[in-house]
Amino acid sequence: MKKLILEIILITVLAGCQEKHKDEVTEKINIGITQIVEHPSLDLIRNGVEDALKESEYKDKIIFNYQNAQGDFITAQTIAAQFNENSDIIIAITTPSAQAALNKIPEKPLFFTAVTNPVIAGLKGKNITGVSDMSPVKEQVKLIQEFLPQTKTIGTIYTTSEANSTYLVEEFIEAAEKAGYKVIARGVTNVTEVASAMDSLMGDVDTIYTTKDNNIASAYSLIIDRANKANIPVIGATKDFTKAGALASSGISEYQVGYQTGEMVIRYLNGEQIQDMPIEYLKKSELTINKKQMKKYGILLDKDQLKNIEIIN
């Protein structure tokens, strides 16, 4: 009898703890969102995060505080320190923002998103988890093989200080070289160097590949302009790059990366512990092609291809 009473007490206490966790967030939930730089891909991720939370049972209790570091890591650290003081939950978009946040937020729940390789980035701790946006580089190489069979040399640009970009370019080079391509990579340190990097590739490459990279995304209109003038097709790593003028892309949905991150936050609010929430990945990729660029480079799609690809006007 005593054992039964103890079990009932234990169940009641555990249930009470879970309800208490929910009760702690019944007033207002201050969610700080830190983003390293503003551009369409990252904005889509943020939209996904916010939409997931706005559709949840906590929608009337959440207060969003969005801060942009304008590409500066020191500013990202300052934002993180402020969020550590005035936010209940912190969401960091991109690796630099996540690294800055982890440096300044030792205890509060921290969710990263748009981080390609969290392990290499050092994003480990009792209070951090999130969703990776690992890019399917092998699928991107296949796009070049399928749509641009005359390609022999591929040019690419990446930011040397971005761990995600460096890692993805290395992965792409390995996959492309295995497929028989020569790859010429140009590293930049900031967005102002993208133009000269593009100019240095012109005349030496048949195709340009653009990986997920904050500086590249910020200078994408320049990249497309240079490539168009030289009649060099561009293959991108995200749907947004196709929308911005790349010939085609094979990549994950940036919006879904954010949405899935928002779902993780909801699970935390429902009582799940950070340490019990492993890093998550998206497996399904989106295949897109730009209609204008498709005509420019004489790309023809058969019925089977059209079933699996989205045409961007």
Please check whether residues 77 and 193 belong to one and the same domain: no
Q: What SS3 state is found at 42?
A: helix
Please check whether residues 69 and 163 belong to one and the same domain: no
CATH of the domain at 90: 3.40.50.2300
Please check whether residues 156 and 220 belong to one and the same domain: yes
How far, rounded to the nearest angstrom, does the alpha carbon of residue 204 sit from its chain's CA centroid?
A: 30
The mean of the pLDDT values for the chain is 90
Please check whether residues 60 and 202 belong to one and the same domain: no
> Taking 80 as the threshold, does the pLDDT of residue 296 lie above it?
yes
Tell me how crowded residue 177 is: count the other CB atoms within 10 A of its CB. 13
Q: With cut-offs at 50, 70 and 90, classify the pLDDT of residue 7.
A: very low
Please check whether residues 126 and 264 belong to one and the same domain: yes
CA 69 – CA 67 distance, rounded (Å): 7
CA 132 – CA 111 distance, rounded (Å): 11
Name residue 59's amino acid: K
Query: What is the pTM for the complete model shown?
Result: 0.70
What proportions of the chain, in percent to the nearest 5, are helix, strand and coil?
A: 50, 20, 30
Q: Which two tokens stand for residue 70?
A: 């304008």
The verdict on residue 270 lying in a domain is yes
Please check whether residues 72 and 166 belong to one and the same domain: no
Please check whether residues 258 and 300 belong to one and the same domain: no
Of 57-66, 94-103, 154-163, 299-308, give the lowest mean pLDDT range. 299-308
The contacts of residue 116 (CB under 8 Å, 6+ apart) are 95, 132, 133, 134, 135, 163, 164, 167, 168, 212
| pLDDT over 90 percentage in the chain | 74
Please check whether residues 236 and 198 belong to one and the same domain: yes
Residue identified by tokens 């019990």 is 276
Please check whether residues 208 and 162 belong to one and the same domain: yes
Of 83-87, 220-224, 296-300, give the lowest mean pLDDT range. 296-300
> Taking 70 as the threshold, does the pLDDT of residue 62 lie above it?
yes
Q: With cut-offs at 50, 70 and 90, classify the pLDDT of residue 283.
A: low
Residue identified by tokens 């009649």 is 231
* 148-200 confidence digits (pLDDT tens): 999 999 999 999 988 878 999 999 999 999 999 999 999 999 999 999 999 99
DSSP code at position 79: H
Domain limits at 166?
Answer: 137-251+286-312
Please check whether residues 220 and 167 belong to one and the same domain: yes
> Taking 50 as the threshold, does the pLDDT of residue 50 lie above it?
yes
Q: Given this model, what pLDDT does residue 20 score?
A: 39
* 68-92 confidence digits (pLDDT tens): 999 999 999 999 999 999 999 999 9
Q: Given this model, what pLDDT does residue 273 score?
A: 96
The verdict on residue 7 lying in a domain is no
How many distinct structural domains can be found in the chain?
2
The verdict on residue 12 lying in a domain is no
CA 44 – CA 254 distance, rounded (Å): 6
Please check whether residues 207 and 98 belong to one and the same domain: no
